[in-house]
Structure 1
Amino acid sequence: MKTALGPLKAPQYDSMTSTTGRARRGRGLRLALGWGLCLCLVIVLALVSLAVGSRTIALEGIWSALTGHGNAAETAIVWQLRIPRTLLGCVVGAALGVAGVLMQSLTRNPLAEPGLAGVNAGASFAVVLAISLFGVTSTSGYVWFAFAGAVLAALAVHGLTRRGMASGQHTRLVLAGAAASATLGAITGILTMFDTTTFDSYRFWVVGALENRGTPALLAAVPFVAAGIALALPLGPALNALALGEEQGSALGLRTGAVRALGLTSVMLLCGAATAAAGPIAFVGLVVPHVLRILLGPDVRWLLAYAIPAGAVLVLASDIAGRVIAPPGEIEAGIVTAFLGAPVLMWLVNRSKAVRI
């Protein structure tokens, strides 16, 4: 409709719509570029991981070893030791980061972490049983016991709290997970206390490390982590709706029970495989999603996408730092993650202004 003053409202509405569309596209482009930078950082840390250790290898030596033209010693170190270790660090970090985002989104609790479901305690208990009852001492042997224990513990906790989760009472999950972890931890402690042989083998696994895990642990973890991530990424829009609350999500047509079941299944696959392969590496599933939420905002779609490279960055950086701190020995990655992650998390939480893309 036109008047003497010209068109009314329609051009203003079109202008507002186009401005909003440009702003969204601009934010999406910035987030995509940021994700690409995170991936580049993972590649840089992977190269550093191949170079750093009890024997430092120059970049030229790494390239020669990768192309098959290096000396036998450096080629063996790179291909047999450091490549499996570096890839395992990427896989474990990505799994724990995504599992942390899922756990915090499902419980709507920014302090939740994957071990809340009893996964770590279940895996530890299963490893002790494998060592003490069946005499399994190799990582490739008890990785399957650890995975089975993690999944069974998570299923038990979920079964005990299924009714409470359906009604939005997420406190039950926290209490049930804490109770299961305490019970399994006590039994594990008793078994290792009276069996020194079991304790000697178990203590190298329970600290959480990437050293000496080997290719079998990597190959065992990759399919489950890939399935867990493939299951988690499409849940982003549904988890955004779930963040509005149970009633609001249901009103939007969200099947909250199915979303929780799929989310917890993904957490079991991711955290179970990561814990089985590398041992209980704490703090990654807590600090990665919390830091990402401060930097990116609450959109779970981007949090899940960023958690893949961000988790890998934290685990790789921790593993590299552990090798550099105490040469020619090293400090396990599970110990270093706490020293690196805790100060960063405290600093970001206490900043007066959060950085947002």
Structure 2
Amino acid sequence: MSAVLDRPPLPDAAALRRPAAARMAWLGAGVAVLALLCVASAAFGVREVALSDVLAALRGDSSDVARAAVVARLPRTALAILVGAALALSGAAMQAVTRNPLADPGILGVSNGAALAVVLGIAFFGLSAPYPTMAVATVGAGAAAAFVYSVGSLGRGGATPLKLALAGAATSAALSSLTSAVLLPRVDVMEEFRFWQIGGVGGATWERTATVLPVLAVGALVTLAVARGMNSLALGDDVATGLGVDVPRIRVIASAGAVVLCGAATAVAGPIGFVGLVVPHACRLLVGPDHRWLLPFSALVGASLLVGADVVGRVIARPAEVQVGIITAVIGAPFFIAIVRHQKVREL
């Protein structure tokens, strides 16, 4: 089976520029939207809380019921912000490293690699401590990423976007099946991770959020540190090398940051797909492809997307709730199809 994916020519430098004022305006709008979504996250759930009660609860002046509802929702809001930002940063970095518009932790099987590693650790080694769990998830995510890139690089043309997407989809399905095979005979473990496999931020606590924060901060700093180098990768390896860029070093550092972000986010919230695919593409339309702007803006929009998805999941099925992994899949699947059609896949 052969595949050909036509890539549009790189735009000239003038087309890549965005006025700094426009970027700052979008950044301010993103902060405002995130703030509004955080208020909505505190207000909506099984029991609705009026805006006045939300503000009063934050001051400690509301009724006990309203205050309890708001206080219980704040940790999951904070966790949704961290996980959404981490997955969006991870996706943007993967797209830069692979020069693949279809790259995403879920599509490339990285999230499912982390999930399988965590399930294996719990089922066979009694893994429970948070930091070892995140370490195991990171190792699983890295192994899956390396495997997918190796398979996608086979044959003529090397690691083309379509070959990586196909290799990632096949690997993701295989890893998901292996995870189910490990869980099925173990009812206790399966019950514990039944909702975790879908991906969600329910049951979040401040302790859980505080545990994952330093790991995600390290991954984000590593990724942001090579933002300028990611811009050079878009020119191609030969051109970037000619400009004095250490291409292998940039790729390794950016990949390491992306894997840490994805692994830690998956360990704490489960495999949530499509955030890393949808958000970077949307952000490029607003602030351009300069990763010095794209990465932080992607983190902001990713946080907003996951908080919004969590709110929608709580509202549409009350008194039950729909996990955010399902909401992001509903949003992301049509977006994925649109990207594939836009890239003009001629043969498969």
TM-score (norm 2): 0.82
Of the structure 1 ranges 111-120 and 272-281, higher mean CA displacement relative to structure 2 is found in 111-120
Amino acid across the alignment from 2:85: A
Q: Which runs of 5+ in 2 are unaligned?
A: 1-12, 343-348
- Between the aligned partners of 1:344 and 1:178, the Cα distance in structure 2 is 16
Q: Are 2:185 and 1:198 equivalent residues in the alignment? A: no
Equivalent residues of 2:116, 2:179 under 8 A apart: yes
| TM-fit CA distance, 1:251 | 0.1
How far residue 234 of structure 1 moved from its aligned partner, in angstroms, is 3.0
- Cα pair 2:115 2:140 within 8 Å, conserved: no
Of the candidates 310, 317, 333, which is equivalent to residue 319 of structure 1? 310
1:97-134 deviation digits (Å, cap 9, x = unpaired): 11111001110110011235543223322332344335
- Mapped partners of 1:283, 1:263: distance in 2: 19
Alignment of 1:1-357 (within 5 A): 27-79=19-71, 81-115=72-106, 118-133=109-124, 141=128, 143-144=130-131, 146-157=133-144, 169-171=158-160, 181-343=172-334
CA separation in 1, counterparts of 2:31 and 2:221?
Answer: 18
Measured after TM superposition, the shift of residue 47 of structure 1 is: 0.5
Question: Offset of 1:177 from its aligned partner?
Answer: 5.2
Q: Per-residue displacement from partner, 1:153-181 (whole Å, max 9, x unpaired)?
A: 2333465658998xx94358667756654
Query: Any idea what the Cα deviations from partners look like across 1:267-301, whole Å, max 9, x if unmatched?
Result: 11211111111111111011111222234433222
Q: Which amino acid aligns with 1:60?
A: S
1:24-77 per-residue CA deviation (whole Å, 9 max, x = no partner) reads 7x8111111111111110000000000000111111211221112222232222
Partners in 1 of 2:340 and 2:43 — Cα distance? Answer: 34
TM-score (structure 1 length as normaliser): 0.80
Give 1:220 deviation, angstroms: 1.9
SS of structure 2 residue aligned to 1:206:
coil
Q: Post-superposition shift, 1:186?
A: 3.5
Percent identity (aligned) = 39
Larger mean Cα displacement after TM superposition, 292-301 or 206-215 = 292-301
- Kept in 1, the 8 Å contact 2:110–2:145? The answer is no
Give secondary structure in 2 for the equivalent of 1:187: helix
Q: Distance in 1 between matches of 2:40 and 2:324?
A: 15
For residue 248 of structure 1, what is the amino acid of its counterpart? V
> Is the CA contact (8 Å cut-off) linking 2:104 and 2:276 kept in structure 1?
yes
How far, CA to CA, are the matches of 1:118 and 1:150 in structure 2?
13
Q: In structure 2, what residue type is equivalent to 1:290?
A: H
Measure, in 2, the Cα distance between the counterparts of 1:348 and 1:112: 11
Aligned partners of 1:188 and 1:105: how far apart in 2? 29
TM-aligned CA deviation for residue 326 of structure 1: 0.8
3-state DSSP of counterpart to 2:65: helix
What letter is aligned with 2:182? Answer: L
Equivalent residue letter for 1:30: A
Whole-Å Cα distance in 1 between the matches of residues 201 and 165 of structure 2? 29
**Which stretches in structure 1 are left out of the alignment for 5+ residues?**
1-19, 352-357
Paired with 1:158 and 1:195, the residues of 2 have a C-alpha distance of: 28
How many angstroms apart in 2 are the aligned matches of 1:97 and 1:159?
A: 20
